[in-house]
Amino acid sequence: MQDYIIIKSKERNLSIPEINNKIDYKELDIYSSNNLNELKKLQEIAVQRGGKCRSTEYINNRTKVELVCKEGHVWEATPDSIKQGKWCKKCTGLSLKKMQEIAKQRGGKCISPEYVNNYTKLEFQCKEGHIWESIPSNIKRGTWCPKCGAKGGGRKRRLRKQLNH
């Protein structure tokens, strides 16, 4: 049965899961209602991100599917990684550039080597040399160095207190 699955997968140009022991044949029933539902979920995720899932079959969470992002980049990824928020690596490079630009505008640097998604922390350094981690969505909303911000906020509170007494 294992040989049959490998042959049929190759004929259809499907990624073949690495075979360590035995294949769980339930996972490979590509026409089961569960697998069709999983394929629909992936297609919905792709559309929400402005892209498309080109694959017409879902084998399991570890077998790659073909995707296209809104910029037209084509790549393969596991359904598991897509569900965890990962997307087009070429476009994420653009997002890293965006984070580097924002940091530079604020007199600092984004020192992380790669951008995963909007909710995975990146490392930043402010003009005072403080290093911290923040999620990109917070940086885009205007937050910056917690140490410099805490100093400024504390100073403002002290001044307000002095003025009110």
pLDDT at 9 over 90: no
Q: Which residues pair with 76 in a beta bridge?
A: 66
**Distance of alpha carbon 103 from alpha carbon 146, whole angstroms:** 14
**Distance of alpha carbon 27 from alpha carbon 1, whole angstroms:** 14
Least confident of 58-62, 74-78, 102-106: 58-62
* pLDDT score of 3: 73
Structure tokens at 120: 């995975």
**pTM of the complete model:** 0.47
pLDDT at 153 over 50: no
* pLDDT score of 165: 58
pLDDT, tens digit (0-9, with 9 covering 90-100), for 19-39 = 665 656 555 555 566 778 889
